[in-house]
Structure 1
Amino acid sequence: MGDPDHRRGSARDAGSAFEKACAVADAVLYEGYLLYPYRRSSPKNRVRWQFGILAPRAWAEAHGPVAAGLSGSVESWRQQTECLLRAGPDAVVRVRVRYLQTQARSVEQRTEDGRHVPVDRLEAGGSVHLAFDEAVPQERDLVVPLADLLAADREFDVGAPGGEETEHLPGGVGRLVRLRRPVQARTTLGAERLPGPGSLYRLRVRTENTGRSTPAGARRDEALGHALIAAHTLIGGAGLSFVSSIDPPEDVAVFARDCRNLHTFPVLAGEEGSDGLVLSSPIILPDHPQVAPESPGDLHDAAEIDEILTLRTLLLTDDEKREARATDPRAAGILDRVETMPPEVFARLHGAIRSLAPAASGQVSAASHGDGGAGDGGAPRPHVTAPAGQATAVPDQEGAPWTPSSC
């Protein structure tokens, strides 16, 4: 493990593992981004951004209380992941922090005297354009030798700057203006060696919204302009292997119970049987979640099944499809995909048999999701396993909403 060429190769392998896990991570990132029927006028698309929200602290605390172990549609100002790993002396930790930054899209019509005035909708070049909130994906990669984290915590800026972009519409009738507010955030990495035989460590990844410009009494949409949306973390590296938080080996289960995960739930990612990658998500997933190979693309509504959503989308009227296309480019992409889907691809959505073996019964997780301090660490979480590609539904703890896995 001390060979520099080996370490560079291992780092490349870690990066490749991250990219392979992005299909599942993207399902987390865009969970509920725009729900069927994909139109701005739909009531359920008027209250958006419901998962993994890290808002400015003063605003989040004023709208609490928020139990630290809960996730789903609760809004906090921080996330914390703690997981166990085994590592050699030259191990390197790699963390990728991912989230959405909101972007307000306004529509402005050009007047006869050359001014631009805000309007709700505008037709140009045969297309309708609506005012709507979009989102820009943000990623930050952090790479630190494990030895450095054992010596002291390391802090990193993971925020995103604000910005403004203008798109002129055909015919000179107006323009679209996209405005992003700055997001201020930091991620702190730390690690500790655990007692007992073997090279066992606890890794801590803590991400916080550090913005101070949003007053406690601000409207929700104002606070979300400075928030991390659908925040989640990929954790990997070189020269290390992770322990399942859901089903840890018996000899380390006591250490797994002591892990404190705030508003997020870490699971092993990647291929079944691998242990080199963790996905820590605000949505409950099983170890090694996978997107069904039959799925032709993300429908942003993981509480449903691709076949049902595809059929429903095909049944939208021409006026509804027109509004959906005007609502968001991702909605337009979904319409294009389902309307041009070959029959053999659609047929594969009807179902697939992964295994003829009996399904595993529910197991109680050894992972705990507490408040980061002393105590029992929260109630154990039920864990339901399912063959790859089938949805799994797991109830959340302490009354929090649950979300079926899209993977």
Structure 2
Amino acid sequence: MAEALAEGGTKGAATSGGAGPSPGVFEHLGAVAEAVLYEGYLLYPYRRSSAKNRVRWQFGVLFPRDWVEADGPVTPGVSGSADSWYQQTECLLRVWQPDSVRVRVRVRYLQMQRKQVEEAGRPVASLHGDDGTVHLTFDEALPRECEIEAPLDELLRGARTVAVSAPAGEDVEPLPDDAGRVVRSREEIRAETTVTAERLSEGLCRIRVRTTNTAPAPPPRTPRDEALRRALIATHTLIGGDGVEFVSLIDPPADVEALVRACRNEFTFPVLGGEAGDTAPVLLSAPIILPDHPQVAPESPGDLHDAAEIDEILTLRTMLLTDEEKREARATDPRAAAILDRVDTMPQEIFERLHGAVRSLTPAPPTAPPTRVPPAASADPLRPPATPAGPVPTWVTPTASADPARPTATPAASAVPAPPWAAPTPSADPAWPPATAAAPAGPVPTWVTPAPSADPARPPAPPAAPAGPVPTWATPAPSPDPAPPWATPVASAGRPAWWQEGADDGLSPATDTVLVDGVALGGGSRVRLRPRGRGADAQDMFLTGRTAEVAAVFHDVDGSVHLAVTLDDDPAAELNNWYGRFHYFRPDELEPLEPAGSPDEPSAPAPAAAPARHMTDSETPAAEAE
């Protein structure tokens, strides 16, 4: 199935020997940058009444500092899933001619716009026109961007600060037949971006881009929906230059690995743009986690505002909306209406392209087909044909080794005629493989010897069971670490296979428990998250040390166990519980806390995690539910 964002190189200007990017280098990342800008803008089913659309703007939100730090300083992370008042990108670039290099920075974000429906001069939540049209009050957003360009040598001498603000405004749209009006209003956004450069060595510099919200803060207890009117939303940065190449921060070259680790990226995740490689002429610093060289999947027919999700699933779900749900979605937002129009009119061949796209495989190099040489006829019908004139495959049966505990050695000559299905006998030419194999010269372990067939025209029977112990070199060594009880498959001789009816009998996610450090964990248990470094999802690593509550215990079809949890300090925890959106952890990644009823422990800050090569959604395996 095609994903809206896929790994791979976008079509950008290639660099060679220090050649700079084309003037439109940012435009080559335009589709990806748009996907980042509107990631989470409006989620399926694209209706105002949808529970998941009541908590808006999840990534890259920069509030006024005094409001967001009313309860304490923000804790920096490597992605923009937490609210902040600033965003900082640090990256390395190789430079060939510093005197002529110009650095370009483009800051992009959304400005919230309140769409208020009014009837007879008073605000209303919805309004139905005489023609059946529905108008809904909803929060929209306008895209904003600001570009900064400066010579590198100037940035090396001192910082450059530029305002990236957006003005306040109001637009009024009268409705037909004087039914009312729609008023769209927005407050002023005050923000600034500072760009600095530092020379690290000959031909290598560090660039820092820091964007801060400088607007006056609303009162400390102002609801988040109101504070958003002064916030930069989905903030992200594009950085490029003439005569430069940016270094991968995910998989850096060995000579700059230590310098890459010293870069401090806070509330953002920088990745290379352009074509695949460990350097690129442009860098995208996004509030969501992406791979280097991201691109929009070529199968995607258009933006669904769920840019990291799977287009086929979202398209199918959108097709299943009822007429009433579609009417509400169209009234919710013009972008939702555009999605419905695109899905409703999608040609069958476009829809079929969304299914089965595979990008992880590479074609095998072409090989010449083997030359098939007809064998010479044999005078004896029980003997195989003579040695062919061309190459013979090396599938001959080996003779037994003198040591019965070791595998068999090279083939030997046959002492008796063999039927045609047997292996070939030796050739008169020692340079050719033998044609038939003989009986072993010594005893062969029974676990490799097939049982003889009573009918010489039939192949041997399957191998018999060993008559004695199997040689130790063929026996896997026992693991020093026995599998924990929670890893034992739940299927047993008395339980049907997972795909058969009754396989789930006796399993109850809400009441099942699993033993961890002598404590039975189940629904309502308090735990601290300790995701393992290897094999853990990158998103889960950001939650190290946080406290959570277990919602359910789930058994996989392969017999492993995962516990669904909600974070204690997640403001949307109750909402996530309601529609089944959880974080999932293995039992060995959880640390039991005191039994339920004890005073809540404050959630420990999550340390910054190193960027990971592959990033996935930490909310699987449960399907997104509405």
TM over 0.5: yes
Residue 266 (1) aligns with residue 274 (2): no
Contact kept in structure 2, 1:284 and 1:394, CA below 8 Å: no
Contact kept in structure 2, 1:313 and 1:335, CA below 8 Å: yes
Q: Say what the alpha-carbon RMSD is for the aligned residues.
A: 2.3
User: Larger RCO: Structure 1 or Structure 2 (Cα < 8 Å, ≥ 6 residues apart)?
Assistant: 1
Distance 2:309 2:204 in 1: 40
Aligned partner of 1:372 in structure 2 is none
Q: Residue 294 of structure 1 aligns to a residue in which SS? A: coil
Distance 1:364 1:318 in 2: 39
Distance 2:144 2:218 in 1: 21
Aligned partner of 1:192 in structure 2 is 198
Q: Residue 213 of structure 1: CA displacement?
A: 3.9
Aligned partner of 1:398 in structure 2 is none
Aligned partner of 1:203 in structure 2 is 207
Distance 2:69 2:360 in 1: 47
Contact kept in structure 2, 1:362 and 1:383, CA below 8 Å: no
Aligned partner of 2:15 in structure 1 is none
Query: Where do residues 381-400 of structure 1 align in structure 2 (5 Å cutoff)?
Result: 381-384=611-614, 392-393=615-616
Distance 2:256 2:344 in 1: 51
Query: Where do residues 102-141 of structure 1 align in structure 2 (5 Å cutoff)?
Result: 102-110=112-120, 116-124=121-129, 125-141=131-147
Give the unaligned 5+ runs of structure 1: 1-9, 111-115, 370-376, 385-391, 396-400, 403-407
Distance 1:103 1:180 in 2: 5
Q: Residue 353 of structure 1 aligns to a residue in which SS? A: coil
Residue 144 of structure 1: which of 147, 150, 170 is its match? 150
Residue 94 of structure 2: which of 47, 62, 86 is its match? 86
Give the unaligned 5+ runs of structure 2: 1-18, 364-533, 543-606, 621-626
Deviations 1:170-224 (A, max 9, x none): 11211100000111000000000003xx310000000000011422222111211
Aligned partner of 1:74 in structure 2 is 82
Residue 232 (1) aligns with residue 455 (2): no
Deviations 1:254-290 (A, max 9, x none): 1111100010011101222361000001111110001
Aligned partner of 1:388 in structure 2 is none
Residue 379 (1) aligns with residue 384 (2): no
Contact kept in structure 1, 2:174 and 2:180, CA below 8 Å: yes
Aligned partner of 2:105 in structure 1 is 95
Residue 337 of structure 1: which of 338, 342, 363 is its match? 342
Q: Residue 80 of structure 1: CA displacement?
A: 0.3
More helix by share: 1
Q: Residue 86 of structure 1: CA displacement?
A: 1.2
Identify the range of structure 1 (93-102 vs 169-178) with the bigger mean alpha-carbon deviation. 169-178
Q: Residue 227 of structure 2 aligns to a residue in which SS? A: helix
- TM-score normalised according to structure 2 size: 0.55
Aligned partner of 2:403 in structure 1 is none
Q: Residue 140 of structure 1: CA displacement?
A: 0.4
Aligned partner of 1:17 in structure 2 is 25
Distance 1:98 1:312 in 2: 31
Aligned partner of 1:353 in structure 2 is 358
Distance 1:175 1:63 in 2: 40
Contact kept in structure 1, 2:78 and 2:608, CA below 8 Å: no
User: Are residues 171 and 15 of structure 1, via their aligned partners in 2, closer, same or farther at CA, if it must alter by over 3 Å?
Assistant: farther
The amino acid across from 2:228 in the alignment is L
Residue 178 of structure 1: which of 165, 174, 184 is its match? 184
Q: Answer with 1 or 2: which has the greater Rg.
A: 2
Aligned partner of 2:11 in structure 1 is none
Contact kept in structure 1, 2:250 and 2:612, CA below 8 Å: no
Contact kept in structure 2, 1:362 and 1:382, CA below 8 Å: no
Residue 325 (1) aligns with residue 330 (2): yes
More strand by share: 1
Q: Residue 194 of structure 1 aligns to a residue in which SS? A: strand
Residue 222 (1) aligns with residue 215 (2): no
Q: Residue 166 of structure 1 aligns to a residue in which SS? A: strand
Residue 59 (1) aligns with residue 71 (2): no
Deviations 1:78-112 (A, max 9, x none): 000000001222100000000000000000113xx
Identity of aligned residues (%): 61
Contact kept in structure 1, 2:92 and 2:207, CA below 8 Å: yes
Q: Residue 66 of structure 1: CA displacement?
A: 2.7
Distance 1:362 1:244 in 2: 22
Contact kept in structure 1, 2:113 and 2:141, CA below 8 Å: yes
Q: Residue 362 of structure 1: CA displacement?
A: 8.3
Q: Residue 303 of structure 1: CA displacement?
A: 4.8
- TM-score normalised according to structure 1 size: 0.84
Aligned partner of 2:257 in structure 1 is 253
Q: Residue 383 of structure 1: CA displacement?
A: 1.5
Contact kept in structure 2, 1:84 and 1:243, CA below 8 Å: yes
Distance 1:382 1:285 in 2: 10
The amino acid across from 1:222 in the alignment is E
